[in-house]
Amino acid sequence: MAIEGYATVEGTGRYRERMVAAGVTHPEHFRQGLGGLALSSVGLGTYLGGHDADTDAQYLEAVKQAVASGCNVFDSAINYRCQRSERVIGQALSELVRTGAVRRDELLFATKGGFIPFDGAPPRDSYAYLLQTFVNPGIITSSDVVADCHCMTPAYLRHQLKASLANLGLSCLDVYYLHNPETQLGAVSREEFMARMRRAFEALEEAVSQGQLRLYGTATWNGYRTEPGSRGHLSLEALVRMAEEVGGEHHHFKVLQLPYNLGMPEALAQQTQTLKGVTVSLLEAAKALDVYVMSSASILQGQLSRGLPKGAREVLGERTDAQRAIQFVRSTPGLGTALVGMKQVEHVRDNLTVARHAPLHPDQFTKLFQ
């Protein structure tokens, strides 16, 4: 039976108070966003790892440890590890709720749809799998699929949302992302792309009205980081205006995800967005448009866990380079939650040590760019 409910202001506030009172986290570890939710500045991502039982077992314990360590934001996608990441999060949540360790309304769960997911393991014949699983049942047509891997038609998104809810064991998702929608721009015109985005937004607004999800957004890799005019560029302002047209003043397009870290600082350092005719950074645009930002690749899949320059180490403090890299991301003005892929309990414990400390003061943060 699916777990009822969703993240609430009361529930996430309760979690924050419990973590702070127990000395597990610093009060400033939590941010207020998405309608007043108390969200941890570090979230757990589930992209990395093999599609096997050993990795499942690692993630199961990692999710439990994260909840105990002050993390209440969990990110996945239906295609991660052939749906196994969603399923193991659901298993962990079921155990945590059953034992009384946490309540559903204290945690935020986000997942993504767009890429064609395998089921448990890669099939021997991926084309035959696509036909049997999606085309023959009438969920999609072959022409709906872009780059042999991506689809975001309303019928497909409805199917994928239902599958994700089942995998996670939830009655309602907190956040649902369109996953790398810029993939479509490699195959269709911008005019057609925007028409497809509109239909996707309509489907997601409908899902909100039906109680299947609370908020939606876009999880991208290149879209918001590329220069205006480039083929894969996404305009946050244009998407928010579209959401307003589709869902009205109280639309539910309220969150985005993109890579941001010491090695990929474009969201802060480059003016890739236009807002009322003025070029600004993605983080500036998101703040002005009331969109919460989560970062992926906060330690660049482990590449920033070693070898940071001496100057950065001195400013960022902390004990390890991984902690310093996380501290950089969570201290960035305008950024909400730094997602970190963590499947080992020891990495969860170590990385979430930063939750006991305040983020850098803005004056300290600017020293990194001097």
**Phi/psi class of residue 57: alpha, beta or left (left: φ > 0; alpha: ψ in -120 to 50)?**
alpha
- Distances, alpha carbon 84 to alpha carbons 40, 163, 253, 311, in Å: 24, 12, 27, 40
Contact 81, 55 (CB under 8 A): yes
Predicted confidence pLDDT, tens digits, the chain (370 residues): 899 999 999 999 999 999 999 999 999 999 999 999 999 999 999 999 999 999 999 999 999 999 999 999 999 999 999 999 999 999 999 999 999 999 999 999 999 999 999 999 999 999 999 999 999 999 999 999 999 999 999 999 999 999 999 999 999 999 999 999 999 999 999 999 999 999 999 999 999 999 999 999 999 999 999 999 999 999 999 999 999 999 999 999 999 999 999 999 999 999 999 999 999 999 999 999 999 999 999 999 888 888 888 888 888 888 899 999 999 999 999 999 999 999 999 999 999 999 999 999 998 888 888 6
State the DSSP code for 115: B
Please name the residue ranges forming H helices in 69-209.
84-98, 126-130, 154-168, 190-209
Q: What are phi and psi of 75, to 5 degrees?
A: -125, 135
Q: Tell me the CA end-to-end span of the chain in Å, nearest whole number.
A: 55
Q: Given this model, what pLDDT does residue 305 score? A: 83
Please name the residue ranges forming H helices in the chain.
9-21, 53-68, 84-98, 126-130, 154-168, 190-209, 236-247, 266-269, 282-288, 310-316, 321-330, 345-351, 362-366
CATH topology of domain 9-369: TIM Barrel (3.20.20)
Q: Given this model, what pLDDT does residue 310 score? A: 85
Q: What are phi and psi of 111, to 5 degrees?
A: -145, 180
Cα gap 209→71, rounded to integer Å: 28
Name the residue ranges covered by the structural domains of the chain. Answer: 9-369
- Give the number of other CB atoms < 10 A from CB of residue 96: 19
Q: Given this model, what pLDDT does residue 126 score? A: 94
3-state class of 258 per DSSP? strand
Q: Using alpha carbons, select from 230, 224, 254, 110 the residue that is nearest to residue 176.
A: 110
Contact 198, 246 (CB under 8 A): yes
Q: Which residues pair with 219 in a beta bridge?
A: 179, 257
